[in-house]
Structure 1
Amino acid sequence: MLDKKYDYYEVGETWTSRGRTITETDLVMFSAYSGDWYPLHTDKEYAEKNTPYQQRIAHGMLVLSVAMGLQIMEPGVVAAFYGIEHLRFTKPTFIHDTIHVELEVTDLLDKENGTGVVTINQKVVKQTNEIVSNGVLKILVNKEM
């Protein structure tokens, strides 16, 4: 969705990404990269015996990172990631779940400096149609020059 200049966005427009399956390798690599080896994500025995999910779940920040990667971000269009508000992880994402992203533009703010902020409701949805994460993205987008 982030493939056009600020001037071409309209409040209410929507976009849906392709899917991506979360793998055990994703959890291990994310743990190695982030240093987050919390046993809910990395210890099968611990997760089975000591959590309500009875299995490992993906790190919330891994899910958010994959969701960002599923979005189209065109160089020269996106000036910067401006922020995220009201982020919630509402359901677990398990190994072998396939997630996709659903976006809706909810607001446009002209920064009057050659950019504008595009506000987007982001839902991360898994194959069961359950929303696993939602939040409000703010993306700084270049204007047409």
Structure 2
Amino acid sequence: MPRPHRPHLEAEEYIARTFGAEQSYIVTNGTSTSNKIVGMYAAPSGSTLLIDRNCHKSLAHLLMMNDVVPVWLKPTRNALGILGGIPRREFTRDSIEEKVAATTQAQWPVHAVITNSTYDGLLYNTDWIKQTLDVPSIHFDSAWVPYTIFIRSTRGKVV
């Protein structure tokens, strides 16, 4: 809704308070549309986006729709084919500089998208990533684990 009021506005404010966010928006088209809304705002056309190679397909749509240059963060995969997390080194400034230099038309990323949890259920230490990753904004795509902020053992691993 462009200008929510009364119950709708109260619900958005309640969600923001509950999740410790500055603002919350209710999107009726699901997380695929939400991912594109966030991405189009945070990574304007022609900019560079640091993105998890195992991202949701809605983010691949964002790359095409918004003409954004991707710089990929590459997760590990074990011998059984189970996806691991993105190695810590991938989040460092040195690694990102190497990736930007190797990617045609890439500039320093204006935004990053990380799928958390991974599709195999691994959670990142989001506090560490926020302190380490040198980009203006980070979107942790946590569509599969929104409840984890309420679980003591997963604090610091979710946003």
**TM-score per shorter chain, which class?**
under 0.3
Specify which structure has the higher proportion of helix: 2
Q: TM-score, normalised by structure 2?
A: 0.24
* Higher RCO, 1 vs 2 (CA within 8 Å, ≥6 residues apart): 1
**Where is the strand percentage greater, Structure 1 or Structure 2?**
1
